[in-house]
Every structure is written in structure tokens, then in C-alpha cells.
Structure 1
Amino acid sequence: MNQSSQNAPPFGEGDDVRSRTPSNESEVRHPVVAFLHLFFRTSAILVYLMCGFFSSHFITCMVTIILLLSCDFWTVKNVSGRLLVGLRWWNRVDEDGTSHWVFEARKRNSRDPTTSAESKIFWFGLIVFPVLWLSFIFSIILNFQIKWLAVGLMGLVLQGANLYGYVRCKLRGTSSFTNVAKSYFGAQLLKRAMRKTDEVSA
């Protein structure tokens, strides 16, 4: 499968320019989302560290950690990134099998602006926890606890994927919609023209 990278326009194009801005940058306007942003990943770490004290069943611990990591991945990718920092990313596949990574950033004058407090919570959780999982992997290898390696790798991959996606959003998600639209529809027209040429030559 061929892969290509694509920027997307800032979302919230229809938002009212006169929308209110937060009066206090230290305000957490989405406390439940901020809590869940840290809850699942913190819980996965705690279960990993304390599993040996409460349960001797490796499979039970592994399944619990993977479920927490999966909930965390979905929450961060679909909810907290969008509400806490105004970023989102996803992957779409065209009919011909081409994979496009899409990165978006909300307009600054949207009606649901973010605060610096929410941004700090988001990026703290996003950066620190993959580093912790990486340190756990080194510890697993050094202590020859190979059965835990799959769990450590799962934690690193799932949380590292969100980190990678949101860093790409931050760096590349503010491009102009016009340029993106021109490049996308131009590519589609070129593909159609090539197909018609192939049909005629056949």
C-alpha cells in the first residue's frame, strides 16, 4: 500500500469570528476531558507497576493494561486532542488503496478556544508517558522479563502513535485550505486522465 502525507485545513471554518475567548488562561474549561486524558494512561502505568503485588495471573494483568491503553488511545485521538488543544489527525484510504494521513488544527478565532492550562495538561500527558513506557522496555530487557515485553511495546506503540500524530498536527496542520484542495483535486484529475488514457490505449 502506497502512503502519502497530506495537510488539512484548520477546522472550525464556520465558527463565529466574534466568539468569546477564555478570560483566564489558567482555566481548565474541559475538566472531565482533561481528567480522562491522564486517567487511562496513568491507570495503565499503575497496573503495570503494581500488578505483581495484587495478582499473580499475568494474562489478567496484560489484558487489563491493554484495555486501558486502548481506551487511552481512542480518548486522546478522538476527544482530548480536539477539545484541549484544537488538533486532530486520522488516516483515510482512497479507492485505489492510497493511504493519506490528514492533520488538522482549529482556527484561533473558533468559538471553543483552548487555554494554556489545557494545553500544558495535554502535552505533558502526551510526552511523558511514552518516555515512561520506553524506560520500562529497557528495564524489561535488562531484567530478562521477556513475557512483559509485548505489554511494554504495546504501551509505547499506542501512546507513541498519538504523540507522533499530534506533533505532526502541531507542525503541519495549519496549511492553507486552498493549497490543499488544489493539490488533492489536481491529483484526482490526473488519476482519472491516466485511467482514460489507459482505457483508450487498451
Structure 2
Amino acid sequence: MMENDDDVSLFDAEEDVGTKSKKTIKHPLASFFHLFFRVSAILVYLLCKFFSSSFIAPMVMVILLLSCDFWTVKGSGKKQLVSDSESRIFWLGLIVCPILWGIFAFSALFSFNIKWLPVVIMGLVLQGANMYGYVRCRVGGKTSLKNMATNYFGRQFLKQALSKEGES
């Protein structure tokens, strides 16, 4: 994956403008379709069981919707300025959806609903890869994800140790 600052600029939300423009959404179509394709893929998975016993059509729909999401997010990354609201919408959608697909995967596995597992795995893989790519771009060459996680958990452990020591 090539690292390009232009691809990540949409989601940095570093603006030197007033608070009024930070709360407005400058690119409503990009924000809408980012969430629309992700939520639609989840709804197709959840509702397809009521309308059909086939898993081929839902799998195709999930793949198409998540592919459209990737294209929309990648294509909208070329814009330069975004608001804090757009940044929050993007990162919320980027993180929450793979978590939901993970929950669906465990649910399908533990309920022995194995025939739906390929659909869920495809959703998890596509959303997870998208999330990993953007988190990796966000972190960039500054540090690896492993070092970032290690530093975070190290700080949390140190905070807990210091707070317990202060209570003694």
C-alpha cells in the first residue's frame, strides 16, 4: 500500500477556521455514502435471512456494497479540507462496522449457522482491511502499529500502578 498524504488529508480535520465551520459538514455526499454503503451491507446481512435462505445473493450484495464503500472513501480522500464532524463520521464508521462484522462472525460460529459464515467473513475481511489501511496511513511512517499499541498499554499500566500507589 502506497503512503500518500493526499489520501489521508480528508480525515485529518486540521483546520484553522472558526468553530462554526468545524461543525458543518462540507462534503455531505461523501459522508452520507460512506455510512450508507457500510450500513446497507450490514442491513442486507441482517435482513436477508427473513427474505431468502440463499447466501449467494447476500454475499454478492455485501461484497458490492463494501466495494462501493471502499471506492467512495478512497475517491473522497482527494479533497483537501474537512470538518471535525466529517472526521468523526469517517472514523466512527471505519471502526464500528468491522467490530459489528466481528460480532456477526462469532454469532454465526457459535450458533452453528455455518452457511452464513462466508458472508460474515467477507464483510469482516473487507471492512477490516479498509480500517487497517486507513489506520496505517494515519499512523504513517512515524511508528508501527505494534509500537503504538505497546506504548498505549504501557501508559495505561503505568497510570493504574501510580493510582494504586497513591491510594496506599
Q: Same-fold call, TM > 0.5?
A: yes
**Could you report, residue by residue, the CA deviation over 1:114-162 in whole angstroms, capped at 9, with x for unpaired residues?**
1100000000000000000001000011011111111111111111111
Question: Are the counterparts in 2 of residues 37 and 80 from structure 1 also a CA contact under 8 Å?
Answer: no
Match in the other structure for 1:73: 70
Structure 2 CA distance for aligned equivalents of residues 123 and 155 of structure 1? 17
Question: Pairwise CA RMSD of aligned residues?
Answer: 2.6
Change (3 A) 1:150 1:56: closer
In our comparison, the structure showing a higher alpha carbon Rg is 1
- The answer to whether residue 42 in structure 2 is matched with residue 45 in structure 1 is yes
Change (3 A) 1:57 1:120: same
Question: Are the counterparts in 1 of residues 6 and 77 from structure 2 also a CA contact under 8 Å?
Answer: no
**Could you report, residue by residue, the CA deviation over 1:50-101 in whole angstroms, capped at 9, with x for unpaired residues?**
111122333222222221122122222x224444xxxxxxxxxxxxxxxxxx
Change (3 A) 1:162 1:81: farther
- The answer to whether residue 115 in structure 2 is matched with residue 119 in structure 1 is no
Q: Which runs of structure 2 are paired with 1:58-97 in the superposition (5 Å)?
A: 58-76=55-73, 78-83=74-79
- The answer for unaligned runs of 5 or more in structure 2 is 8-15, 143-168
Structure 1 CA distance for aligned equivalents of residues 70 and 109 of structure 2? 25
Structure 2 CA distance for aligned equivalents of residues 39 and 6 of structure 1? 27
Structure 1 CA distance for aligned equivalents of residues 60 and 6 of structure 2? 36
- The answer to whether residue 134 in structure 2 is matched with residue 166 in structure 1 is yes
Question: Are the counterparts in 2 of residues 81 and 122 from structure 1 also a CA contact under 8 Å?
Answer: no
- Aligned sequence identity (%): 56
Structure 2 CA distance for aligned equivalents of residues 75 and 7 of structure 1? 18
Change (3 A) 1:170 1:149: same
- Alignment TM-score, normalising by the size of structure 2: 0.70
Structure 1 CA distance for aligned equivalents of residues 76 and 38 of structure 2? 13
Question: How many residues matched?
Answer: 135
Match of 1:55 among 48, 52, 55: 52
Question: Are the counterparts in 1 of residues 55 and 119 from structure 2 also a CA contact under 8 Å?
Answer: no
Of Structure 1 and Structure 2, the greater helix share is in 2
Of Structure 1 and Structure 2, the greater strand share is in 1
Structure 2 CA distance for aligned equivalents of residues 59 and 133 of structure 1? 18
Match in the other structure for 1:131: 99
**SS of equivalent residue, structure 1 residue 28:** coil
